[in-house]
């Protein structure tokens, strides 16, 4: 990885940063390079480059031209899938197969928004005699994208592709822990023909580069994915400029398992939704609510799956990789210790392989059973490979527990009763409800976002195009006077 350079991508050119940030491989704890620590001045240069792009060929491109270009970038991403997957696996510590599916998602976002670019249009509105009234969908202008470290490629892909499809010019601030694929993507997009300044990537720390982007007066829309605490800061900074913000924050998403569920289908989803990406997933199905009638049976089967989980380096491509950093590992271990000291029942644990490098940030997956819905571990996002199992009696209690946290991102309902599934889909507070599945295999077409502490606004699907564009109403009077 000697080619990791501390450079920023601004206005189509690679530029040096004044200071650097070390890049760590979470599988080993080794430093493998350095990133540029972009500052407020670099963000300002990137915003100016984006403004110049909007005044130049990028701003003049038709919707169909933008779509064709996004399709070309999607193909270029597919052509470099192996390189991107290896880079993401190393940078984030993801097992290789998970990193591969993240590249597929990035290519698919580009493909989806390539097809959608020239299908976004306004409407005509019936009005008074001698008037023609219509609406126009226009880009905001410069969009800011603040990205977390857990799914860097996917999350950058979903917001940047939609923003570019609408004709915006983007400034991306990836997470300091995992920026490498954002830089690689900028290179790929530029080589595929994306005009200079349409996409700028400024790596750096959140409190400097991130804060400068969120509060820059030249930015017209901010898309933030990350923690609720930082989301509130970003919203306040953008609020000073009165610009719209999309906040994709965390979750404590429930999966409700009823006695009539098809357990054989449910089981792999129940566990995978908790341990995928070592549990560092905003939409992790981290609370397993199980009906008492089948509780013992389900717990036994869940436990067997947990005992079979293997943890190791990203390159070994096991079930679970390391956590992103020593700090994240310490945070998760502290929460596990809290669960143990509070006397929670440890139903089962996975195993860290003997050949896992000693400096890596490994945590064995752990299943807590019989947890009270108001316990800290059933309320707070753990962001590690830990799930809690909570028993319930009936539908009413299940809904009360499901809705009993400040979050509302995603929920899964496992039942053979179709009417119940439809009732619960209405009653559960969440941005997405999955019936007899969880996550719908990523579904780039499906609008995604939260309510409450999980944030607001929607990304993914056609819906994102409404967020990344603004509506203008034109009322034309054409009477004879
Ligand atoms: P984080 O909030 O610490 O950081 C996210 C991004 O914000 C990073 O790029 C960081 O540099 C930047 N940042 C930090 N301080 C900033 C500031 N003062 N101003 C502007 N930007 C700043 O979150 P994280 O630790 O990277 O990610 C974990 C969190 O993200 C979890 O809570 C998780 O649930 C959430 N998440 C949500 C989604 C979603 O789509 N809802 C997806 C992934 C992660």
Read out DSSP for 236-284? HHHHTTT--EEEE-----EEEE-TTS-HHHHHHHHHHHHHGGGG--TT-
Q: Closest ligand 1 atom, CA of 237?
A: 19
CA neighbor of 199 nearest in space, from 79, 70, 91, 68:
70
361-372 b/e (C-beta count within 10 Å ≥ 16 → b): bbbbbbbbbebe
Catalytic residue numbers read: 248, 282
Choose the residue to mutate in 159, 206, 232, 409 for probing ligand 1, maximizing ligand atoms within 8 Å of C-beta: 206
Cβ proximity of 452 and 431 under 8 Å: no
pLDDT given at position 441: 86
Ligand 1 centroid to 228 CA: how many Å?
Answer: 8
pTM for the model:
0.97
Extract the residue ranges of the chain whose pLDDT is less than 50: 1-2
Q: What domains are defined for the chain? A: 7-249+457-473 (3.40.605.10), 254-443 (3.40.309.10)
Cβ proximity of 378 and 370 under 8 Å: no
CA neighbor of 102 nearest in space, from 361, 321, 277, 311:
277
| Torsion-angle region of 143 (φ positive above 0: left; ψ -120 to 50: alpha; else: beta) | beta
Q: What is the DSSP letter of 315?
A: G
pLDDT given at position 5: 66
Q: Closest ligand 1 atom, CA of 409?
A: 41
Cβ proximity of 107 and 81 under 8 Å: yes
Could you write out the DSSP letters of every residue in 407-475? --SEEEEE-S-HHHHHHHHHHS-SSEEEESSSSGGG-TTS-B--SGGGEES-BSTTHHHHHTEEEEEEE
Choose the residue to mutate in 154, 159, 205, 226 for probing ligand 1, maximizing ligand atoms within 8 Å of C-beta: 226
Cβ proximity of 354 and 310 under 8 Å: no
Cβ proximity of 253 and 410 under 8 Å: yes
Ligand 1 centroid to 403 CA: how many Å?
Answer: 24
Q: Which residue has the tokens 């007066």?
A: 217
- 3-state SS, 349-388, equals ECEECCCCCCCCCCCCCEEEECCCCCCHHHHCCCCCCEEE
- Measured CA to CA, the distance from residue 270 to residue 272 in angstroms comes to 6
321-322-326 Cα angle (round to 5): 175
CA neighbor of 448 nearest in space, from 239, 234, 247:
247
Ligand 1 centroid to 126 CA: how many Å?
Answer: 44
Model pLDDT for residues 339-395, shown as the tens digit of each residue? 999 999 999 999 999 999 999 999 999 999 999 999 999 999 999 999 999 999 999
Q: Closest ligand 1 atom, CA of 147?
A: 9
Model pLDDT for residues 456-477, shown as the tens digit of each residue? 999 999 999 999 999 999 999 9
Residues with CB under 6 A from ligand 1: 146-151, 155, 173, 175-176, 206-207, 210-211, 214, 225-227, 230, 233-234, 248-250, 282, 381, 383
- Measured CA to CA, the distance from residue 64 to residue 438 in angstroms comes to 34
pLDDT given at position 3: 54
Ligand 1 centroid to 98 CA: how many Å?
Answer: 20
Residue nearest to atom 34 of ligand 1 (CA): 250
- Measured CA to CA, the distance from residue 82 to residue 359 in angstroms comes to 26
| Torsion-angle region of 141 (φ positive above 0: left; ψ -120 to 50: alpha; else: beta) | left
Q: What is the DSSP letter of 151?
A: S
Residue nearest to atom 6 of ligand 1 (CA): 148
Q: Closest ligand 1 atom, CA of 177?
A: 26
Ligand 1 centroid to 245 CA: how many Å?
Answer: 14
């Amino acid at each position: 990885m000697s080619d990791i350079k501390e450079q920023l991508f601004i206005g189509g050119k690679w530029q040096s940063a004044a200071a650097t940030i070390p890049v760590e491989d979470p599988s080993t704890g080794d430093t493998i390079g350095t990133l540029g620590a972009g500052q407020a001045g670099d963000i300002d240069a990137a915003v100016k480059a984006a403004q110049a792009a909007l005044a130049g060929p990028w701003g003049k491109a038709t919707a169909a031209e933008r779509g064709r270009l996004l399709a070309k970038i999607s193909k270029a991403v597919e052509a470099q899938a192996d390189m991107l997957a290896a880079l993401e696996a190393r940078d984030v510590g993801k097992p290789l197969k998970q990193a591969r599916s993240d590249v597929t998602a990035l290519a698919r976002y580009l493909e989806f928004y390539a097809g959608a670019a020239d299908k976004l249009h306004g409407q005509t509105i019936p009005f008074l005699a001698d008037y023609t009234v219509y609406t126009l969908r226009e880009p905001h202008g410069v969009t800011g994208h603040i990205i977390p470290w857990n799914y860097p490629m996917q999350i950058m892909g979903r917001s940047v592709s939609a923003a570019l499809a609408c004709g915006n010019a983007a400034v991306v601030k990836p997470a300091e822990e995992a920026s490498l694929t954002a830089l690689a993507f900028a290179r790929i997009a530029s080589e595929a023909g994306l005009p200079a300044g349409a996409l700028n990537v400024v790596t750096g720390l959140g409190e400097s580069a991130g804060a400068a982007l969120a509060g820059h007066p030249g930015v017209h829309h901010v898309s933030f994915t990350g923690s609720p605490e930082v989301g509130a800061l970003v919203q306040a900074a953008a609020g000073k400029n009165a610009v719209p913000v999309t906040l994709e924050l965390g979750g404590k998403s429930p999966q409700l398992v009823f006695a009539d569920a098809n357990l054989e289908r449910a089981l792999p989803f129940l566990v995978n939704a908790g341990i995928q990406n070592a549990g560092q997933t905003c939409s992790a199905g981290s609370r397993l609510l199980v009906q008492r009638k089948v509780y013992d049976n389900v717990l036994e089967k869940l436990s067997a799956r947990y005992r079979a989980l293997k943890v190791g380096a990203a390159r070994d491509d096991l079930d679970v990789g390391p956590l992103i950093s020593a700090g994240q590992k310490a945070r998760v271990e502290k929460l596990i210790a809290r669960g143990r000291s509070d006397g929670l029942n440890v139903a089962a644990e996975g195993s860290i392989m003997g050949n896992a490098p000693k400096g890596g940030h490994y945590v064995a997956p752990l299943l807590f059973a019989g947890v009270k819905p108001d316990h800290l571990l059933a309320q707070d996002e753990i962001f590690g490979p830990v799930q809690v199992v909570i028993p319930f009696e009936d539908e009413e209690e299940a809904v009360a527990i499901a809705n009993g946290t400040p979050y509302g991102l995603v929920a899964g309902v496992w039942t053979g009763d179709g009417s119940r599934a439809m009732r619960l889909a209405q009653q559960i507070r969440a941005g997405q409800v999955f019936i007899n599945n969880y996550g719908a295999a990523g579904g780039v077409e499906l609008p995604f976002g939260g309510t409450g502490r999980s944030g607001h606004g929607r990304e993914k699907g056609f819906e994102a195009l409404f967020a990344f564009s603004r509506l203008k109403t034109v009322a034309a009077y054409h009477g004879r006077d």
